[in-house]
């Protein structure tokens, strides 16, 4: 089992190049199942979740190869409709193949998904939406058995709550449905807009008709296309927080700053000095970090995927801060590990009270989920001495070459077996 050793108390200085977005790549990869033509994708991140999704597509009959950092997907002979538990169990996004398989074949058998244990994240919103497109389904022994006897038929669908995954699944499914679909109360994360841009480029007919309402007119086929995946805004946010926490000086490259304006504004409020260029953010951490109260919310609110990282930073603030987690009900599992390092964080329900003026102490630590893993690295980077982080397979699901990128900007970190 691999682990990370982190030697703390170094300021991060230099330049970090941000990879392509994991959370944008996964739905776009699922959407390629709609096409019988070749699809060329650029800027995919080299992380475990992407490899798992590629394995899932290959198990369904997709022919996939890499050519100079470009992924070429050929679904001209893709005929299988069964997504097994062995491939879907480690990754929430596995359920996203259900929509395109139903759109293409009218039936599918897909395992209920796994992923990080940060909350229930039920698939009922996906299934309720698909049923309104004409899908009938049963859940038998952990598998969704779904059929669309008359094919998918456009409909008006209002999501009961804002759900990124359900919005993605229904967008993908509706692109080949007969007639017009109106989706309302949609999630509007940048990754969803990237999926829509990909589908439009491939010849689909999608148009925003209100802030959270999308009109989709079904098409009969998807064209051959080449598409570059957007930058990973959570990775960018993680390195911005790392710079602030270590009082460092980093240039974050290959980004679109206005997409993460909420995070930039919060970091400015707590004292970080930030300058923005076209595709670059220059951040200098302040010696004094101001406390702040934040709550996670659907985009354009503060992302739940940066909550753990921000908690580490607020341990360094001048006073107590409060974080309210409004997306997932079980996303404070990193708190116990941070408290073992000397943090003073108490949780009641979905609120965490974070005492400031903390000096982290090095410790042996256990990662519990993807974003918790990286929060432990950030805390360890500011601690005196050597910390050891176990179960880093969570980390490899979503961060490309994290120890290499951190080493380049002055961190003392190494992976050991």
This prediction has a pTM of 0.95
User: Helix 233-245 vs helix 307-314: angle between axes, to the nearest 10 degrees?
Assistant: 10
The pLDDT value given to residue 118: 38
Are 237 and 197 found together in one domain?
Answer: no
Determine the pLDDT at residue 330.
Answer: 73
- In this structure, the answer to whether residues 164 and 312 fall within a common structural domain is no
Considering the domain architecture, whether residues 14 and 46 belong to the same structural domain is answered as no
Place of tokens 């006897």: 149
Please write the tens of the pLDDT for every residue from 199-208: 999 999 999 9
Domain boundary residue among 228, 247, 266?
228
Same domain? 199 vs 327: no
Domain boundary at 192, 207, 228, which? 228
CB-based contacts of 271-277 (< 8 A; 24+ apart in sequence): 271/244, 272/240, 272/243, 272/244
Give yes or no: residues 105 and 193 share one domain.
yes
Catalytic residue among 116, 186, 204, 315: 116
Q: How far is CA 317 from CA 250, 321, 408, in A?
A: 20, 8, 27
Q: Are residues 168 and 302 in the same domain?
A: no
Give the CATH number for residue 249: 3.65.10.10
- The residue from 228, 260, 291 where one domain ends is 228
Amino acid 90: pLDDT: 78
Q: According to the model, what pLDDT value does residue 35 have? A: 96
- Regions of the chain where pLDDT drops below 50: 116-120
Q: Are residues 13 and 109 in the same domain?
A: no
Confidence (pLDDT) at 69: 75
Torsion angle, CA of 331/332/334/340, rounded to 10 degrees? -170
pLDDT in the model for residue 115: 52
Q: State the helix-helix crossing angle for 164-174 and 22-31, rounded to 10 degrees.
A: 30
Residues 109 and 151 in one domain: yes
User: Do 289 and 237 belong to one domain?
Assistant: yes
Same domain, yes or no, for 408 and 341?
yes
- Domain identity same for 9 and 32: no
What is the domain range of residue 10? 3-19+231-416
Residues 67, 216 share a domain: yes
Give the model's pLDDT for residue 120.
47
pLDDT (0 to 100) of residue 390: 95
Count of the separate structural domains present in the chain: 2
Predicted local distance difference test score (pLDDT) of residue 114: 65
Active site residue 116: yes
- 36 prior amide bond cis, ω within 30: no
């Amino acid at each position: 089992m691999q682990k990370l050793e982190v030697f703390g108390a170094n300021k991060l200085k230099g330049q970090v190049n941000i990879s392509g977005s994991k959370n944008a790549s996964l739905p776009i990869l699922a959407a390629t199942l709609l096409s019988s033509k070749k699809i060329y994708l650029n800027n995919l991140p080299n992380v475990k979740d992407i490899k798992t999704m590629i394995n899932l597509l290959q198990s369904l009959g997709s022919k996939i190869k890499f050519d100079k950092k470009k992924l070429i997907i050929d679904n001209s002979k893709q005929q299988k409709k069964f997504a097994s538990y062995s491939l879907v169990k480690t990754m929430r996004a596995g359920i996203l193949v259900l929509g395109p398989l139903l759109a293409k074949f009218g039936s599918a058998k897909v395992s209920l998904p796994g992923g990080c244990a940060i909350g229930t994240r039920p698939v009922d919103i996906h299934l309720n939406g698909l049923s309104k497109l004409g899908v009938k389904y049963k859940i038998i022994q952990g598998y969704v058995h779904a059929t669309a006897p008359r094919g998918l038929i456009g409909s008006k669908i209002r999501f009961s709550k804002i759900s990124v995954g359900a919005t993605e699944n229904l967008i993908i499914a509706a692109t080949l449905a007969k007639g017009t679909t109106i989706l309302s109360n949609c999630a509007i994360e940048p990754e969803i807009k990237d999926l829509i841009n990909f589908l439009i480029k491939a010849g689909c007919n999608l148009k925003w008709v209100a802030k959270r309402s999308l009109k989709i007119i079904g098409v009969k086929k998807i064209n051959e296309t080449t598409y570059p995946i957007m930058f990973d805004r959570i990775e960018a946010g993680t390195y911005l927080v790392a710079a602030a926490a270590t009082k460092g000086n980093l240039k974050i490259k290959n980004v679109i700053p206005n997409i993460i304006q909420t995070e930039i504004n919060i970091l400015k409020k707590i004292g970080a000095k930030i300058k923005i260029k076209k595709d670059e953010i220059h951040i200098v951490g302040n010696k004094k970090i101001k406390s702040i109260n934040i709550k996670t919310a659907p985009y354009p609110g503060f992302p739940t995927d940066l909550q753990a990282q921000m908690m580490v930073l607020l341990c360094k603030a001048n006073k107590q801060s409060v974080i309210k987690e409004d997306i997932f009900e079980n996303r404070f599992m990193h708190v116990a590990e941070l408290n073992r390092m000397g943090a003073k964080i108490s949780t009641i329900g979905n609120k965490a009270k974070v005492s400031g003026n903390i000096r982290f102490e090095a410790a042996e630590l256990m990662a519990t989920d993807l974003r918790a893993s990286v929060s432990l690295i950030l805390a360890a980077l500011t601690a005196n001495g050597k910390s050891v982080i176990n179960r880093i397979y969570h980390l490899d699901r979503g961060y490309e070459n994290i120890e290499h990128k951190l080493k380049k900007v002055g961190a003392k970190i190494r992976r050991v077996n």
